[in-house]
């Protein structure tokens, strides 16, 4: 049987719930409010992103990212984003921009890093530094049509993260791991996704 003295001791030793505050550049209160809204209305979670690409010349092209759909309606970025892609000179390009496969590495690094910022803020951890290096190995004999036994894309991708903050190394590792586990780009790369292609030729 619990005495009133024990009850008082238990009540005083319980940690008060920490109110979320903006941290690491993340609007943490809005983050939690968004999670709550999506939990209450799952249809708000359905998003569709798009990129419109136009050939410039040679291996050089330009993608435009401006509008997307989500949170129950049509959305627009604060401004139109244009991103170029090209091949280096050693691969018969003019090296006007990074290659598409390098953007894939950037997408993986950017996705996990964004998650780290959010997860750390949600856990009340102040970040001092987050840096990553992502490498991919590719054998061009596949995409050049030289060998049918070599895949066209990366044979393997390695990502290494350096993270510093006001938490223990164990907690910081947990933050990176949670971000990896929730990363949309990591999921696409490791689990695959159906891709359809339609052609309007004339």
Kindly list the domain boundaries of the chain, sorted by start residue.
23-98, 99-190
Place of tokens 């136009």: 54
Backbone angles phi and psi of 144, in degrees to 5: -85, -5
In sequence order, the 6+-apart residues with CB closer than 8 A to the CB of 172 are: 125, 163, 164, 165
14-70 pLDDT, tens digit per residue, is 656 677 788 999 999 999 999 999 999 999 999 999 999 999 999 999 999 999 999
Q: Could you report the per-residue pLDDT of 106-145, keeping only the tens digit for each?
A: 999 999 999 999 999 999 999 999 999 999 999 999 999 9
Contact 179, 112 (CB under 8 A): yes
* Domain range 23-98, its CATH number among 3.30.70.20, 3.30.300.20, 3.40.50.11260, 3.30.70.270: 3.30.300.20
Check whether domain 99-190 has CATH 3.30.300.20, yes or no: yes
Instruction: Give, for 129, the enclosing helix (H) or strand (E).
Output: strand 127-138
Whether pTM exceeds 0.85: yes
Q: For residues 95 and 87, give the distance between their C-alpha atoms in angstroms, rounded to a whole number.
A: 5
DSSP three-state, residue 186:
helix
Per the CB < 8 A criterion, the answer to whether 134 and 157 are in contact is: yes
Residue pair 154/138 in contact by the 8 Å Cβ criterion? yes
Check for a shared fold between 23-98 and 99-190: yes
């Amino acid at each position: 049987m619990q005495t009133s003295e024990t009850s008082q001791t238990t009540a005083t030793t319980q940690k008060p719930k920490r109110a979320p505050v903006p941290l690491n550049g993340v609007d943490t209160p809005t983050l939690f409010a968004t999670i709550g809204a999506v939990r209450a209305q799952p249809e708000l979670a359905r998003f569709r992103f798009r990129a419109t690409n136009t050939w410039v010349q040679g291996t050089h092209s330009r993608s435009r990212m401006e509008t997307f759909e989500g949170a129950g309606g049509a959305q627009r970025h604060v401004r139109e984003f244009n991103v170029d892609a090209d091949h280096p000179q050693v691969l018969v390009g003019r090296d006007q921009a990074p290659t598409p496969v390098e953007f894939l590495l950037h997408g993986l690094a950017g996705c996990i890093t964004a998650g780290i910022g959010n997860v750390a803020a949600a856990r009340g951890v102040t970040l001092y530094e987050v840096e990553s290096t992502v490498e991919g190995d590719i054998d061009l004999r596949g995409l050049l049509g030289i060998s049918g036994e070599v895949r066209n894309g990366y044979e393997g991708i390695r990502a290494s993260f350096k993270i510093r903050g006001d938490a223990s190394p164990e907690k910081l590792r947990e933050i990176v791991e949670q971000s990896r586990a929730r990363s949309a780009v990591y999921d696409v790369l490791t689990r695959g996704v159906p891709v359809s292609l339609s052609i309007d030729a004339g």
